[in-house]
Chain A
Amino acid sequence: MANVGLVKKRSQFTRPPLAEMSSKKKVLGKIKKEMRALGVNI
């Protein structure tokens, strides 16, 4: 029981919002696609 206070609630995790993660993924995919189209090994 002594460790109960150490458990983080879901809301306490500092994960970026889903919308931001999704937007980054899209940009990452776009850059990779452009780099591959230029023949860069990625």
Chain B
Amino acid sequence: MKFINKIINKLGNSSRKKKVVDTLYESIEKLKIGIFGAMYNKYINMYDEEYSKLLCGAIISELLLEEHQMEVVRNFYSVNRDLVREEIIKLNEDEHFSRAFSYLYAAKIFYLATTTGKIVSDEGYQILERANELRIYIPNTYDISGDNNMINCVYKISEYADNLLNQELRNYS
């Protein structure tokens, strides 16, 4: 992790840092939409439309510790919390979802590290905890780009996010 710290310090407040932060932010958005689309396509074959959407929304919020802003989702989550977690664990056994979850967590961790300047910020620590609870593997830079260069890694995450989003936009029913 030391090399990530070095890169973060080196980026300072440069325009390069802004580019890295923007790329990671966009990648997180694309990954969220791609994962939502992939889950919806799966669940719509099993459940009705409303239930499928509520489940997808609850899963995305659960993955990233986002508060459930809508009452309907809050109610769904309060009744189905265990089911939501079980579904994530089940999805994570599928290679397609497992990879997408891993990249989402990697992007979030790098984003938080870059924006806060800390390798593991408070929010970053909570995200790591959540990944452990849900048995989601967080890849390192070697897993993602084959080297220890964070910039290459950010590029690979962005590329993966683009591909996932394009694929799910084509498949979305």
Residues of A within 8 A of B (CB): 24, 27-28, 30-32, 34-35, 37-42
B33→A31 contact, CB < 8 A: yes
CB of B54 within 8 Å of the partner chain: yes
| Contact yes or no, A27 B172, CB < 8 A | yes
* Residue among A31, A37, A38, A39 making CB contact with B172, cutoff 8 Å: A31
Interface membership of B36, Cβ < 8 A: yes
Which B residues form the contact surface with A (CB < 8 A)?
A: 29, 32-33, 36-37, 40, 53-54, 56-57, 60-61, 66, 68-70, 72-73, 165-166, 169-170, 172
Contacts of A32 in B (CB 8 A): 33
Q: List 29 A-B contacts (CB under 8 A).
A: A24-B166, A27-B169, A27-B172, A28-B169, A30-B172, A31-B36, A31-B37, A31-B40, A31-B169, A34-B53, A35-B36, A35-B57, A35-B60, A37-B70, A38-B54, A38-B56, A38-B57, A39-B57, A39-B68, A39-B69, A40-B32, A40-B57, A40-B60, A40-B61, A41-B66, A41-B69, A42-B29, A42-B32, A42-B33
Determine the residue in chain A with the shortest Cβ distance to B37.
A31
A37 and B60 CA atoms in complex are apart in Å by: 13
With known contacts A34-B53, A35-B57, A40–B169 Cβ distance under 8 A? no
